[in-house]
């Protein structure tokens, strides 16, 4: 079986998914993901050229909410759960890049 997914691809995906995987994890995952993808790729055997994808199992459309304001959750309760907070805001380590 050819490599369905390479180690380099796995590293790239780990970056996209923000997972700091160890070398052992990366090695194991390359094999596991490859095997799973081999199995999952069976879906390509089916002819779907005239088939629309099902994104929603329900035939619902136009579900709205009236534009009415109401109070939110008290700040203290939310900030109490924060791993780090300062000046009533959530504190994070330095951000390296600008927002896309």
- In the list 1, 2, 16, 27, the residue contacting another protein (rule: CB under 8 A) is 16
Q: DSSP letter string over 4-49?
A: SS-HHHHHHHHHHTT----HHHHHHHHHHHHHHHHHHGGGGGS--T
Scan residues 33-62 and list those touching another protein (CB under 8 A).
Answer: 33, 35-37, 39-46, 48, 51-58, 60-62
- In the list 1, 2, 8, 81, the residue contacting another protein (rule: CB under 8 A) is 81
- In the list 2, 8, 23, 77, the residue contacting another protein (rule: CB under 8 A) is 77
């Amino acid at each position: 079986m050819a490599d369905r997914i390479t180690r380099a691809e796995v590293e790239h995906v780990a970056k996209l998914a923000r997972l700091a995987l160890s070398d052992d994890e990366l090695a194991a995952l390359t094999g596991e993901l490859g095997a799973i993808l081999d199995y999952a790729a069976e879906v390509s055997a089916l002819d779907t050229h005239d088939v629309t994808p099902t994104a929603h199992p329900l035939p619902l459309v136009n579900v709205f909410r009236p534009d009415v304001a109401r109070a939110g959750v008290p700040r203290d309760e939310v900030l109490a759960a924060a791993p780090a907070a300062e000046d009533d805001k959530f504190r994070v380590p330095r951000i390296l890049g600008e927002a896309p």
